[in-house]
Amino acid sequence: MLFPLLSAPVPTADDGPAVTVDGVTLRRSDLLGASTAVAERLLGLGVRGPVAVWATPSAATVVAIVGALRAGVPIVPVPPDSGTGEVAHLLGDSGAQAWLGASPDAAGLPTVPVRLHARGWHHIPEPGADAVAMIMYTSGTTGAPKGVPVTHRAIAACLDGLADAWGWTDADTLVHGLPLFHVHGLVLGVLGAVRVGSPLVHTGRPTPAAYAAAGGTLYFGVPTVWSRIAADPGAAAALRGARLLVSGSAPLPVPVFERIRELTGHEIVERYGMTETLITVSTRADGERRPGWVGFPLDGVETRLVGDDGAAVRRDGESIGSLQLRGPMVASGYLRRPEATAEAWGADGWFTTGDVAVIDAGGMHRIVGRASTDLIKTGGFRVGAGEIETALLAHDAVREAAVVGLPDDDLGQRVVAFVVVESDGARVDSSTLIEFVGRTLSKHKRPREIRFVVDLPRNAMGKVQKKLLLD
């Protein structure tokens, strides 16, 4: 049962705020009644296949998604900034039968309306645990986005594992302003709150001022959000009363971790996941929080590192290997992509993440990055881009840094850093930064070249698009 708190009528004493999105509040009875009305309408119309949701940050989006999931109708979250070609791909590939709620013009599918004030009170049978809850799409960095069918069982396992790791209960108030079409903002940030019973305050946009004003106990953010809060001491100070701050979707720079600790008294919890696996590894609220490390496997998750030859890599905190994992929240394959599925999933259920990582003797994980862009093989050495980026960010003149390996006839790959400087740091030069990195890292890890840029290309979740830098 994905939403046990919505399976029965709401006692008056428990009818507190359930979801607030950009100033619109739904009490628990509102969410129960409106989502039931959505489920009744879908079932009454005979809609059983996937429905697309134009996933704007709105109360209507939350009602649409919760209602469809309760009806057992898979949802396809569509980013509201998608172009026409992207929308066509998601609709065609998923086989979406209709739009649920608002839709873009000329989308070509019928629309099932969602009304915040509609109320349905019939009992809705709970879908089976192995029923597909949603079809989420990868970011498409290596081709057209691939659909990942995610089951009710997988979502429940992920959220229960995180609730245990973070001590997340209905006594918390969750605050975030993340998009509602990714794992972070949708699965954790909406479905997690509804499952646990913690009120959700979605700020519309994740600005420092909005986070400071929300008065929550549990905050979710991507590194870009935490970086902006770290640059706003007043907003950061307002988070001192929180219980837990969580970062994900991209690596959190160590200087940001340290600055947030200085301003708020909190050490940010980091976690690791992806569309195909949901969240599988996390730092615990009651354990060590080591900057740059993402913690331990959630309940039921197994992880391993393998080398290029398929042999096991030592868990010594230094040796880099390809990260593979399996667990109850990991999907079983891509939608209608048997070749891609066979490439990523082994017959024994191990999923090859495409990330490289290190694991220490105690089992704590550090993600080095994507094997395709963050593992640099230079002069016979294997170097992680993140380590060099952290070293660069420690320089006062550096605001952002992204390190890649570019082809080199002599070295195989040479280390190249793309750097954004602070407004008052324009006078820093390449040799100064290269020498600065050389003070803390080995000689072979120093950048061979520094390229100064105005900004770094990022996606909607704040991840640097290194493929664009390589191109």
Residue 407 lies in a domain: yes
pLDDT digits (tens, 9 = 90+) for 73-95: 999 999 998 888 889 999 999 99
What percentage of the chain carries pLDDT values higher than 90?
A: 70
Neighbour count for residue 156 (Cβ, 10 Å): 20
Residue 288, domain member (yes or no): no
- Mean pLDDT of all residues in the chain? 91
> What pLDDT score was predicted for residue 213?
97
pLDDT at 417: 94
pLDDT at 41: 96
- The residues, any chain, with a CB within 8 Å of residue 143's CB and separated by 6 or more, are none
Q: Of 169, 193, 217, which marks where a domain is finished? A: 193
Mean pLDDT over 31-37 rounds to 95
Q: What is the pLDDT of residues 319-334, one digit of tens each?
A: 999 999 999 999 999 9
Lowest mean pLDDT among 187-196, 206-215, 379-388: 379-388
| Number of Cβ within a 10 Å radius of residue 14 | 12
Backbone angles phi, psi at 447, to 5 degrees: -60, 140
What letter represents residue 437's amino acid? V
Least confident of 99-108, 138-147, 315-324, 434-443: 138-147
Q: Distance of alpha carbon 207 from its chain centroid, rounded?
A: 18
Tell me: pLDDT of 271 over 90.
Answer: yes
Q: Is residue 68 part of a domain?
A: yes
In a domain, 466, yes or no: yes
Which phi and psi angles does 206 have, rounded to 5°? -85, 60
The predicted pLDDT at position 443 comes to: 84
Amino acid, single-letter form, for residue 43? L
Contact criterion met (CB below 8 Å) for 196 and 170: yes
Identify the domain boundary among 131, 159, 193.
193
- Please give the pLDDT value at position 426: 62
Please, what's the b/e burial string for 357-374 (b: 16 or more CB within 10 A of its CB; e: otherwise)?
A: bbbeeeebbbbbbbbebb
Phi, psi of 77 (to 5 degrees): -70, 125
- Among 159-163, 235-239, 383-387, 435-439, the least confident range: 383-387
Q: What's the total number of domains in the chain?
A: 2
For residue 425, what pLDDT is reported?
56
CATH number reported for the structural domain that contains residue 31 in this entry? 3.40.50.12780
* 166: confidence class by pLDDT, cuts 50, 70, 90: very high
The predicted pLDDT at position 114 comes to: 96
At which of 160, 193, 226 does a domain end? 193
pLDDT for the residue 172: 98
Helix (H) or strand (E) holding 234: helix 233-237
In a domain, 258, yes or no: no
3-class SS at 308? coil
Within 10 A of 95 (CB to CB), how many other CB atoms are there? 14
At 409, which CATH number?
A: 3.30.300.30
Confidence label for 44 from pLDDT (cuts 50, 70 and 90) = very high
Q: How confident is the model at residue 229 (pLDDT cuts 50, 70, 90)?
A: very high
440 inside domain = yes
d(CA 346, CA 291): 32
Separation CA 194–CA 215 (nearest Å): 19
| Contact by Cβ (8 Å): 69, 152 | yes
Domain of 391, in residue numbers: 375-470
- What b/e readout covers 229-266, taking b as 16+ CB neighbours within 10 angstroms? bbebeebbebbeebbbbbbbbbbbbbbbbebbbebbeb
pTM: 0.86
- The Cα–Cα gap between 179 and 204 comes to 9
Residues 20-45 have a mean pLDDT of 95
Grouping H, G, I as helix, E, B as strand and the rest as coil, residue 221 is strand
DSSP string, 244-274: EEEE-SSPPPHHHHHHHHHHHS-PPEEEEEE
Tell me the per-residue pLDDT of 100-122, one tens digit each, with 9 for 90 and over: 998 886 568 999 999 999 999 88
pLDDT above 70 covers what percent of the chain? 96
DSSP label at 17?
E
Tokens representing residue 371 in the block: 């094997």
- DSSP code at position 215: -
Which residues are paired to 201 by β-bridges?
A: 20, 175
pLDDT higher than 80, residue 427: no
* β-bridge pairing 174-176 and 218-221: parallel
Q: 38 in a domain, yes or no?
A: yes
Residue 386 lies in a domain: yes
What is the DSSP track for 371-426? TTTTEEEETTEEEEHHHHHHHHHTSTTEEEEEEEEEEETTTEEEEEEEEEE-TT-T
Are 404 and 435 in contact by the 8 Å Cβ rule? The answer is: no
On the question of pLDDT at 142 being above 70, the answer is no
